[in-house]
Amino acid sequence: MKNYIFGVLLVISFGLKAQEHAWIYFTDKPNVQASISNPSSILSQRAITRKNLHNIAIDARDVPVNENYITTLKNQTGIVVKAKSKWFNCVHVLGSIQNINNLSNLNFVQNIVFANDMLNPRPAQMDQSEDTQQKFEVNVNYNYGASNNQVSMLNVEDLHQDDYIGTGMLIAVLDSGFPNVLMNPGFANLNQDNRLLGGYDFVARSNNFASSNLHNHGAIVLSDMVGFLNNQFVGTSPDASFYLFRTEDANSETPVEESYWVEAAERADSLGVDLINSSLGYSQFDNPNYNYTPQDMDGNTAFITRGANIAVEKGILVVNSAGNSGQDFSFPIINAPADGNVFTVGSVDQNGDYASFSSIGPSADGRVKPDVVAQGAGSAIINLSGNVDFSNGTSFSSPIMTGAIASLWQANPNKTNLEIMQIVRESASRYNNPNNEIGYGIPDFSVAVQDVLSTLSVDKNTIIAYPNPTSNMLYLRNASAEANTIKVYSMLGKKVLEVKHANQIDFSSFSKGIYLLQVSNNTEEKTLKIFKN
């Protein structure tokens, strides 16, 4: 077993010629109302239907940044544009202090915020006592094999026995790279079933997210969700679908990685992703002037945390590792974005006892963190060669939990992200007596799924599709056939059927999987998830 500790102490010049990180916020966006009125011009159909399903408004934050503004910035002296964010209507730039400040003369620039807080026009409280920090949260009927303990600790096998295995759920993994995932035998099922839907390298601005030259952290994190080796290993959501996004540069630690993360989360939202797994955390950087303090871990200060909060607002269930700073007495608290409104996961060992490396709570503003825990000490993984291995860190408790939640959510996809998060918390071992080490404790997914299923009933005026799952005929209750238009979409957002004046559909010719059923009339529109056996 290898233990990985990442962090580089760089000796740099802090003079005016040094390259600084900054966010440039714009005054406006183009064609906002027209874009909102025609959401398919800015979002995928899956994203639109997911937002409709959970009554999430499509707003100005979904509209892309003005590309003409970005082009103008790129043409400015000494300015390099590294990332962009539609949610914040800003870009991340590198340049000298003077060249960045000169951008304020552009009429479309509303505000400039330097990553080095001492360069901003407000009082700063910086703690530069730490010059290195781990960015990855790493110390480094199925036969579950080596993964049995981490699965059974959460009673996830009960979900799997009822065929809740993540089918139809879409997860984005934000990490350092995914080498060999296209060839690794541990991901053979994922690839053969075409459930790896794509990815992107935001660091290198490349589609080659699975390059063998990239760091392996994302690949082994992925294995704890969807990896499968017959009689040796089973992930917690073995039938889920995935997008893989590289946002972390393993060779350095700079604030631009926060911006890459937010940009990837925006991409995930536009693609209709249900969950994000992020086994990354930020607090200390190569340049200590950019460091966050423990007091900044208040859920609303770090750029990445504020972006993660918006992802949650948009209906995505963001699961983030708590961090591995439990034994770092100068910074034992959770890192960003785990301090936000995300679902933060700490670590226990194989016996369910607190793992001493796991970062502790609460958040700086007093909220319970971590939310829950899973096995992160001695976690089973699939390595790049396709063999079972073991490693330590909240990097692994997080995807174990993400996969479990995806399988749970499959049982009632109409639940919102916030509802699912609360159901999992309430199932946990210390829900009535949380502490700073393990939060609400170890969830019991056999309890959580009963809670999810017990709330499937709806009032008499709500449109109901039954039976769901279905093998043949699907019927609609409380829907007037005379006024109905029914559209059926695949999980990728492709329309596969449209009928009018009907209250039943024959699904017998459809392939097994999940479909989005959109029922509309003159006054309302309803979107439901339908499972085809």
Per residue of the chain (533 residues), what is the pLDDT tens digit? 233 333 322 333 334 457 999 999 999 999 999 999 999 999 999 999 888 888 888 999 999 999 999 999 999 999 999 999 999 999 999 999 999 999 999 999 999 999 998 898 855 443 433 333 445 544 438 999 999 999 999 999 999 999 999 999 999 999 999 999 999 999 999 999 999 999 999 999 999 999 999 999 999 999 999 999 999 999 999 999 999 999 999 999 999 999 999 999 999 999 999 999 999 999 999 999 999 999 999 999 999 999 999 999 999 999 999 999 998 878 889 999 999 999 999 999 999 999 999 999 999 999 999 999 999 999 999 999 999 999 999 999 999 999 999 999 999 888 899 999 999 999 999 999 999 999 999 999 999 999 888 765 444 456 677 777 777 788 776 655 556 788 898 877 788 888 887 778 888 888 877 888 888 776 667 788 887 77
Measured distance CA(265)–CA(62) in Å, rounded: 12
Same domain, 214 and 283: yes
Q: What is the pLDDT of residue 351?
A: 97
Residue 1 lies in a domain: no
Residue 5 lies in a domain: no
Measured distance CA(461)–CA(480) in Å, rounded: 12
Measured distance CA(52)–CA(418) in Å, rounded: 16
CA nearest neighbour of 424 among 410, 399, 441, 400? 441
**Count of all residues that appear for the chain in the document:** 533
Q: What is the pLDDT of residue 17?
A: 56
Q: What is the pLDDT of residue 204?
A: 96
Q: Which stretch of DSSP H or E encloses residue 496?
A: strand 495-500
Tell me the CA end-to-end span of the chain in Å, nearest whole number: 41
Q: What is the pLDDT of residue 9?
A: 28
Phi and psi for 280 in degrees, rounded to 5? -130, 155
Same domain, 114 and 177: no
Same domain, 156 and 299: yes
Residue 373's beta-bridge partner residues? 346
Q: What is the pLDDT of residue 456?
A: 56
Same domain, 187 and 318: yes
Domain hosting residue 57, numbered range: 20-119
Distance (Å) of CA 328 to CA 133, 136, 392, 441: 10, 15, 16, 22
Domain final position from 454, 488, 515: 454
Residue 327 lies in a domain: yes
Residue 128 lies in a domain: no
CA nearest neighbour of 97 among 20, 166, 28? 20
Residue 130 lies in a domain: no
Measured distance CA(149)–CA(155) in Å, rounded: 10
Same domain, 446 and 473: no
Same domain, 97 and 153: no
Whether residue 501 contacts residue 482, with contact meaning beta carbons closer than 8 Å, is answered with yes
Residue 421 falls in which region: left (phi positive, over 0), alpha (psi -120 to 50) or beta: alpha
Whether residue 145 contacts residue 234, with contact meaning beta carbons closer than 8 Å, is answered with yes
Q: What is the pLDDT of residue 180?
A: 94
Same domain, 434 and 479: no
Same domain, 438 and 482: no
Query: Domain tally for the chain?
Result: 3
Indicate which CATH number applies to the domain containing 484: 2.60.40.10
Residue 142 lies in a domain: no
Same domain, 324 and 175: yes
Q: Which stretch of DSSP H or E encloses residue 170?
A: strand 170-175
Same domain, 66 and 174: no
Whether residue 54 contacts residue 80, with contact meaning beta carbons closer than 8 Å, is answered with no
Distance (Å) of CA 37 to CA 60, 67, 104: 11, 20, 32
HSE at residue 119, side-chain half, CA atoms within 13 A, is 21
The two beta strands, 485-490 and 495-500, are antiparallel
pTM for this model (two decimals): 0.81
Q: What is the pLDDT of residue 506?
A: 86
Same domain, 205 and 316: yes
Catalytic residues: 175, 217, 395
